[in-house]
Each structure stands twice: as C-alpha cells, then as structure tokens.
Amino acid sequence: MPIFFVTGGAGFIGSAFVKLVLEECLDTEVVNYDALTYAGNLDNLAGFDVARHRFVHGDITNQSAVLDALPASCDAIINFAAESHVDRSIASAGEFLRTNVLGTQVLLDAARERHVRRFVHISTDEVMGSLPENDSSYFTEESPFAPNSPYAASKAAAEHLVRAANHTFGLDTVVTRCGNNYGPRQFPEKFLPLMISNALNGESIPVYGDGLNVRDWIYVDDHCRGILAAMKRGQPGAAYNIGARNERRNIDVVESVLAALDRPKSLMKFVKDRPGHDRRYAIDPSLIESQLGWHPQETWESGLKKTIDWYRQNTVWLERARSGAYREYYRKQYGSEGAVS
C-alpha cells in the first residue's frame, strides 16, 4: 500500500489535501506530520479514516523527529509545512527562515536517507514578485524569482534547495506554485475568512492602501487536485504553476463578501498600506493544463458561496480560531483585526 508523508497536514491546504487523498486514493495511507502552531488545527482532521490516516505531532526542523516519524517505506513526501503570513514575516522573519528554509532542507535530507520515491514541495506565486498593474503579463514556470517580502524570500530559498537536491543528488522532486487559496477551514488571519468573520460580526474590514491590489484566487480543493496530479504525473525536477485564471482586485473581493452577507460597504476601512506590498499576481496555468490535464472545477461564484456557507454553519470553529493569538497581534499592528491581503 502506498504511503504518503504529508507535512503541515493539519493546516488549511494540507488538511484539504489529506482529505482528497483519503477519498480518491483508496489504497493509500497518510502519515500526517504537523507542529500544530497557531494555524494548525486538529479539528481540520475530524472524520478522517483512522485506518489509513495517522497523525504525528512534530516539527520539520527536528531531524531526529522527522526520521522517527517517516515510514521505512515511503512513496512521497508532500511538504505543506510553512510559516505563511506576510505581515508576520515583516514583523519578525526568524521563524520563517527556520521553518521554511531549514525545515525544507531537513526534509530533503530525510528523503535522500530513506530513499523516498518523490518529494513534492508546495510553494507560492509570491516567489516571482509583482507584475505590472493593468498589464497582460502572467507568471509562468520560467518567470524569474523576485521575492519582495521575507516570507516570499524564504519560500524562494526553499525552492532553490529543492532544485539543488534534484540537480546534485538526483532526488525526484516536483514543485507546485499557486496564488491565493480560499475555502473552508482557513485560519482567520487570512484574507477571506477574516472578511467573512468580521462581516458576520458587524466589525470593520481593514483594507490596505487603495484596495486595488490584484490577486489570483483558487478554491482550495482545485489547488489540491493540481498538487495530486503533479505528484502522480509531474516530470521529475519540474515546477507547475496552479491557477484558476481568476484575478480579482482586493476591493472587489471585499464587496463580493459584503453583498453575499447583506452587509453595508461602510464596514470597509482603508488603512496604511503594507510595506513593499506587491501590486499584482496572475498565474498562467497552461503547463499543468496541457501536460497533466488539470483544470479547476469551481468558479469564483461557486467557490465563494461554498466558503461563506461553511463559515456560517461552523461558527464554533470560527470563534475558536478567532480567539487565538492573531487578534492581539493585529490590534497592536493596526488597531483592528487586521488588514486584508
């Protein structure tokens, strides 16, 4: 029976991927390795098949713990584990370097030592920097790296380590990159759950700058299907950009949420812009579409409805997450519950 070692599998995207594997790969076992930092949540794993899913609490920077948890025969390591919030990286970059860079190298070393068949690294479009506003250009797999935040720089460094492991040691690696994910169970420091949460509670929604920054949105399950396709059929050493061709201005996303929840636009509050705020992200997914046959299944409208409905129906989960450390952090930074993207 194939065994996948998934790091960060209690987080938003990682848990969605584990759920997909358990539902679609019925002959596969998953070892789910997660440090359970503020964004990791065991509630995300509720209902998983315990016969094929085993959770291990551990840190990817701890080499001995990784080797102890890694099965003797492992078909793939899929690395979701990361510090991922840009604002936090601007405030303090150390944890991002430790987890995203050093942790990735620990996993690569473990993969080589245990002869793991394939290493899949989950990256971000932010490694490629910012695109011109009102332009027709897109990020492709050949776009140069130009990270503009400590978070993006740490993810770019991790990608370089993955490339080096493939080139120098012959490790079978695949990298995937995507834009802004949205969907159920996302920690409410992130763009959409923050807006939904604040709107449901009648609280103001801080928006950076003029709100015209553009992001490329993808429903989390579509992203996970792309990762699974790349893991199964991707070319060794390749990188695949996973995008839904869904560019939206931040202000338009906020207005979509307010309209769906029947809340007034007056809840929007424009705040001082983030330092070095990237203006536009846009992904060209042509390679994964043509080579692996992947295409998104959700539209923006259908994915947004599913997302809002889930948060409306899971207020207990949302309040548990809202009560976490992010509230104090954002109050200190912005005098509010945080600005969006």
pLDDT tens for 168-189 read: 999 999 999 999 999 999 988 7
- pLDDT given at position 334: 40
Residue spans of the chain under pLDDT 70: 324-341
- pLDDT given at position 296: 97
Extents of the domains making up the chain: 3-181+218-242, 183-215+247-272+299-334
Phi-psi region of 183 (alpha: psi -120 to 50; beta: other; left: phi over 0): left
Taking only Cα atoms into account, the Rg of the chain, rounded to an integer number of angstroms, comes to 19
CA distances from 49 to 20, 25, 243 (A): 12, 12, 30
Q: Please give the DSSP secondary-structure letter assigned to residue 237.
A: T
- pLDDT given at position 188: 81
How many residues in total does the chain contain? 341
Residues designated catalytic: 125-126, 151
The structure's pTM equals 0.92
* pLDDT tens-digit series, residues 86-137: 888 989 999 999 999 999 999 999 999 999 999 999 999 999 999 987 778 9
Q: Are 277 and 213 in contact (CB under 8 A)?
A: yes
Q: Are 325 and 187 in contact (CB under 8 A)?
A: no
Q: C-alpha 308: how far from its chain's center?
A: 19
- pLDDT given at position 85: 81
Tell the residue number behind the tokens 């923050």, with chain if given: 194
Question: What 3-state class would DSSP assign to 164?
Answer: helix
CATH code assigned to 3-181+218-242: 3.40.50.720
- Amino acid occupying residue 12: F
Q: From CA 66, how far away is CA 106, in angstroms rounded?
A: 8
Looking at CATH, the fold of the domain delimited by 183-215+247-272+299-334 is given as UDP-galactose 4-epimerase; domain 1 (3.90.25)
Residue 163's CB is within 10 A of a number of other CB atoms, namely 15
Provide the CB-side half-sphere exposure for 106 (13 A, CA).
Answer: 23
- pLDDT given at position 84: 84
